[in-house]
Amino acid sequence: MRRSDSTRLSRSSGFTLVELLVVIAIIGVMVGLLLPAVQSAREAARRMQCSNNMKQLGLAVHNYHSTFNMFPANIGSQTTTGSPYRGASWLVQILPQMEQSPLYEKLTFVDTDFSTQDAVNRNWEVLDNAIVPGFNCPSNPMQNYRDNNANGDTTAIGAPDTYKTQIVDYVGVAGYYYTPGIRQGDSTWQPGGRSDGSRNVWTGYGWMQDAGIIGINNSKYRNPKFASILDGTSQTIAIGEHSAEMPHADKTRTDSRPSSHAGGAWNAGPSQHGWLGWTANITVPRWPINSIYSGNYTQLYGYTLHNGFRSNHVGGAMFTMGDGAVKFITDSIDFDDVFMAMNGRNDRFVYQYEF
């Protein structure tokens, strides 16, 4: 009698296989229910960090203006015919304001090509693998560097055949593609304006101008100043986010970030005289935020002018306004009028938008 009671007690002290499977199934359901919330919380944290990155960029741009009485700009050729040297980008200019003075002070700015394409790059060793953490969005899964091919002049001073430069996820705004208030395709359509009163110039790589807060510095144009922002700093975008791949209709995707070309974050492109040729790290948006590939090559490559803005944050992208405030702008914004006006510092178009 005692033996059977003992046996019965020992058999009932554990879980049956069915009970164990039920418990596992319940745990699986709970994990499935919690996972979206965890992922959402992680993305919220990443988006907050991206916003902080862009806030720091805004502060750096303002501190640069306080020091030099002008905003940073891509440094282009100072002659009408150009030169073999590709200048330093606006991102190079703000390195000291980003607490990167040791990196900046090692750079050479005379007789050097920041792209390593047409002439010697005397900065290859300084820039090789140099990473500024605040230049990349944590929601971006893409790599934050690119391999650059060193030309013969650069390998002659000790460079390897390839070296790495950082690709950034933030781009300076150089102006607006066409005049807000006039819809594309209208008979009265005209390109956006330039600071000298003329209209955008066709470069072979897209319409280009200097009517944004982040501009160019060459023989014709100079860095914008606060006084040139006629539309108000809180109404004008200075820096936008480009931290996601561009989707194509055939489901392929392209890294079209404006710093994904030769020289990465540090190269300004030729930026010569009244027209700029190809450029880098600045944009004049022609298509909406997070748009798919339009089929137009000026949207496609890091050295073309209309790469625009995109992000992995659902529904839009982050932007730094001229007053340093960081705003999230949805991809459903009125593109032809409101968004065009946001990108120009002197278009004088009045708009209403709730951020």
pLDDT > 90 fraction of the chain, expressed in percent and rounded: 59
- The tokens describing 207, both together, are 């319409």
Are 71 and 224 a contacting pair, CB within 8 Å?
Answer: yes
What average pLDDT score do residues 12-30 get? 75
Average the pLDDT over each of 120-134, 168-182, 215-229, 299-313 and give the range with the smallest value.
Answer: 215-229
DSSP assigned state of 172: E
**Cβ(53)–Cβ(134) under 8 Å?**
yes
In tens, the pLDDT along 176-230 reads 888 888 765 666 677 777 777 777 777 788 777 788 999 888 777 788 999 999 9
Identify the residue with better confidence: 267 or 219. 267
d(CA 316, CA 303): 23
Answer yes or no: are the C-beta atoms of 239 and 58 closer than 8 Å: yes
Average pLDDT over residues 101-124: 92
Residues 49-65: tens digit of each pLDDT: 999 999 999 999 999 99
HSE (side-chain half, CA atoms, 13 Å) at 89 = 30
Of 71, 29, 74, 58, the C-alpha closest to 268 is 74
Q: Residue 215 and residue 201: Cα distance in Å, rounded?
A: 14
Which residues have C-beta within 8 Å of that of residue 101, sequence separation ≥ 6? 95
Nearest to 285 by CA among 238, 343, 333, 237: 343
Whole-number average pLDDT of the chain: 87
pTM to 2 decimals? 0.86
In this model, does residue 277 exceed pLDDT 70? no
**226: amino acid identity, one letter:** F
Do 329 and 338 meet the contact criterion of CB atoms below 8 Å apart? no
Average pLDDT over residues 125-138: 93
Q: Quick one: average pLDDT of 80-84? A: 60
C-alpha span between 263 and 84 (Å, rounded) = 14
Residue-range domain boundaries for the chain = 19-354
Helices (H), 70-168: 90-93, 101-105, 124-127, 152-155
Out of 22-26, 63-67, 128-132, 306-310, which region has the weakest mean confidence (pLDDT)? 22-26
Reported as a pLDDT band with limits 50, 70 and 90, residue 70 is very high
In angstroms, the CA 251 to CA 330 distance is 23
Q: Under 8 Å CB-to-CB from 110, ≥6 apart: which residues?
A: none
Q: pLDDT category, 1, cuts 50, 70, 90?
A: very low
pLDDT for 16: 82
